[in-house]
Amino acid sequence: MSFVSPALGPDPRPTGAAAVRALRDAVPAVHLPGTDGYARLTATSNLTRRVSPLAVVEATGAADVSATLRIAAAFGVQVGVQSTGHGATEEMRDALLVHTAALDELTVHPEERWARVGAGVRWERVLEATAPHGLAALCGSSPDVGVVGLLTGGGLGPVARSHGLSSDTVRAFEVVTGDGVLRRVTPDEHPDLFWGLRGGKGTLGIVTAVEIDLIELPELYAGGLWFAEADVPAVLRTWGRWCELLPEEGTTSAAVMRLPDMDPFPAPLRGQVTLHVRFAWTGDPAVGEEMVRAIRAVAAPVLDTVGVMPYAALGAIHADPVEPLPLHESHHLLHGFGVDGADRLLELVGPGVDSALAVVEVRQLGGRVREGEPCAYAHRDAAYSVFAVGLMIPEVAQVVTRDAARVADGLGPWVAEGGLPNFTDAAGTAWADRVFTPLVARRLRTLARTYDPAGVLLAARGVRAA
């Protein structure tokens, strides 16, 4: 048996090479650098993010995950986890990667309104399976994202203000903790892990399956309103004021967009500054329509998709791109926004401003996001989040980072401490310092020492160092 990578020659990392050798005897699917399987499983949707582990274990069940963690501990190697590559932040150069895509079980229990979902399943499949029963699973804006990746980071979806965080719907996790033990985790069994897995991402273990509550929500009054450049200032100011009065049945965000003048972007939106107001109303559609009237009254949208839609079509609200792109992403929490915040954002990225950022989105939080049982999701009380994205293409790459910093500085008076686990594009200590309060980090560190005594989980290195 050879352990020489076809692409890289003899492995210069001897401890890693020995761990990989042991792994290949213990688990069926181990992919080495230079192979098609390795390239497929290390692919990321942000092309600026490279994932290059020593080897990839394509897990076929919890036993593979357990064997990988035990072998890694024995050889002093760390382990990362990936399912879709949508949230990759760690390069994993000296680590092993457990890939969960093959853990694809999905069972819906419509009578009892819950589902069991494997760690490799994307939200899209859950939406398709639950829709015929008029049931909904609380996902994020993009159904292409992985269920477990989103849930372990809290999960803020298009109906978050009326229905709360996605992680609040979890009944049970099945997780292999860093010590290699498969555990069932519920509010009654290992309640400490139940606290830490909701918001702590992969700091305490590799989840192999989750059981989630489903809600009765066959339809929504929802969609997007796109406004042309000339109307952006007036609509964004109105949106800033409107949010402050919006009841919690409504969840909304507004994104200042600079879409390139090229396919696949629709003609009326590309090559200019536009505003995309996203809106979802889970109450009476007639009341939702009344709510949106205030926005529609400011200017005629160039595109208006807001209406009654099946819950399963909610990906159309944000219309996130799914194809891989080279992106610079930055994120902040705000304690307020309002008309003054809108004015400042217009000065930073509005029409007539020279900005290289393709999207700057302000999401209103609050409502039922503030409620729910205590867990490691540390910033329930934030009022808004800002997410800025720039395309790292040669024409603008140099100025994208500068413009993202300008937005963060310019919104300084509104910026709150911290960041959300799913949106903070950093690794290690930088990620943990932003995502957790000192109290949450301390509790996670204690749990990490208990359940991962050898410090095998790569995702915990931030809380261990904090």
Ligand X SMILES: Cc1cc2nc3c(=O)[nH]c(=O)nc-3n(C[C@H](O)[C@H](O)[C@H](O)COP(=O)(O)OP(=O)(O)OC[C@H]3O[C@@H](n4cnc5c(N)ncnc54)[C@H](O)[C@@H]3O)c2cc1C
Coarse DSSP helix, strand, coil percentages of the chain, rounded to the nearest 5 percent: 35, 25, 40
Query: Per CB under 6 A, does 362 bind ligand X?
Result: no
The stretch among 84-92, 177-185, 388-396, 405-413 that binds ligand X (CB under 6 A) is 84-92
By CB under 6 A, is residue 145 in contact with ligand X?
Answer: yes
Nearest to 148 by CA among 130, 184, 180, 122: 122
CA 348 distance to own-chain centroid: 25
| Smallest distance from ligand X to CB 142, Å | 4
Using the rule CB under 6 A, is 143 a contact of ligand X?
A: no
Are 310 and 285 in contact, with CB atoms under 8 Å apart? Answer: no
Instruction: Assess whether the previous peptide bond of 264 is cis (omega < 30° from 0).
Output: yes
Q: Which residue is nearest to ligand X (CB)?
A: 149
Residue 390 within binding range of ligand X, rule CB under 6 A: no
Which among 344, 377, 162 has a CA at the least distance from the CA of 252?
A: 162
Element (H, E) at 116: strand 114-118
Stretch touching ligand X by CB under 6 A, among 76-84, 280-288, 401-409, 410-418: 76-84
Lookup: tokens for 379: 């910033």
Query: Which span sits near ligand X by CB under 6 A: 30-38, 147-155, 184-192, 260-268?
Result: 147-155
With CB under 6 A as the contact rule, the residue among 86, 328, 379, 464 that binds ligand X is 86
Q: Which of 16, 53, 118, 140 binds ligand X (CB under 6 A)?
A: 140
285: nearest Cα among 213, 353, 192, 223: 223
SS3 179: coil
Are 223 and 307 within 8 A, CB to CB?
A: yes
Pick the binder of ligand X from 118, 164, 199, 202 (CB under 6 A).
202
Q: Given the complex with ligand X, which of 160 and 246 has the nearer CB atom?
A: 160
Among 71, 207, 254, 356, binds ligand X (CB under 6 A): 207
- Tell me how many residues contact ligand X (CB under 6 A): 31
Given 5, 68, 130, 142, the residue binding ligand X (CB under 6 A): 142
150 counts as binding ligand X under rule CB under 6 A = yes
| Contact set for ligand X, span 224-253 (CB under 6 A) | none
| Closest CB 161 distance from ligand X, rounded Å | 13
With 0-12 / 13-18 / 19 or more C-beta atoms within 10 angstroms meaning exposed / middle / buried, residue 309 is middle
Q: How far is the CB of 92 from ligand X (least distance, A)?
A: 9
Question: In this complex, which beta carbon is closest to ligand X, that of residue 344 or of residue 380?
Answer: 380
Question: Is residue 193 involved in binding ligand X (CB under 6 A)?
Answer: no
Measured CA angle at 328 (ends 301, 437), to 5 deg: 100
Span of 185-193, 198-206, 330-338, 410-418 interacting with ligand X by CB under 6 A: 198-206
Q: Which stretch binds ligand X (CB under 6 A): 80-88, 183-191, 276-284, 435-443?
A: 80-88
Task: Check binding of 59 to ligand X (CB under 6 A).
Answer: no
Compute the distance between CA of residue 78 and CA of residue 239 in angstroms, rounded to an integer.
46
* Interface with ligand X (CB under 6 A), residue from 146, 240, 341, 428: 146
Distance CA 45, CA 392 (A): 13
Taking the C-alpha atoms of 428, 431, 432 and 436 in order, what is their torsion angle to the nearest 10 degrees? -170
Q: Is 206 in the site for ligand X (CB under 6 A)?
A: yes
Q: Which two tokens stand for residue 353?
A: 């401003």
Q: Which of 19-27, 145-153, 225-233, 246-254 is the region at the interface with ligand X (rule: CB under 6 A)?
A: 145-153
Q: Report the residue from 16, 53, 118, 149 that binds ligand X according to the rule CB under 6 A.
A: 149
CB nearer ligand X, residue 148 or residue 292: 148
d(CA 221, CA 86): 28
220 binds ligand X (CB under 6 A): no
372: left (phi over 0), alpha (psi -120 to 50) or beta: left
Would you count residue 84 as binding ligand X (CB under 6 A)? yes
Does the protein bind ligand X through residue 152 (CB under 6 A)?
yes
CB of 331 to ligand X, least distance (A): 10
CA-closest candidate to residue 329, choices 376, 385, 251: 385
Q: How far is CA 112 from CA 107, 164, 185, 215, 216, in A?
A: 12, 20, 20, 10, 11
Q: Does residue number 153 form part of the binding site for ligand X (CB under 6 A)?
A: yes
Check residue 459 and report its DSSP letter.
Answer: G
Which residues in 127-231 belong to E strands, given as ranges?
135-136, 170-177, 182-185, 205-213, 215-216, 219-227
Query: Is 45 near ligand X (CB under 6 A)?
Result: yes
Cβ closer to ligand X: 18 or 309?
Answer: 309
**Interface with ligand X includes 199 (CB under 6 A)?**
no
Binding ligand X by CB under 6 A: which of 83, 162, 252, 282?
A: 83
Q: What residues from 286 to 345 belong to the interface with ligand X (CB under 6 A)? A: 320
CB 161 within 8 A of CB 367: yes
Indicate whether 119 belongs to the interface with ligand X (CB under 6 A). Answer: yes
Q: Which residues bind ligand X (CB under 6 A)?
A: 45, 81-88, 100, 119, 140-142, 145-146, 148-150, 152-153, 155-157, 201-202, 206-207, 320, 422, 459
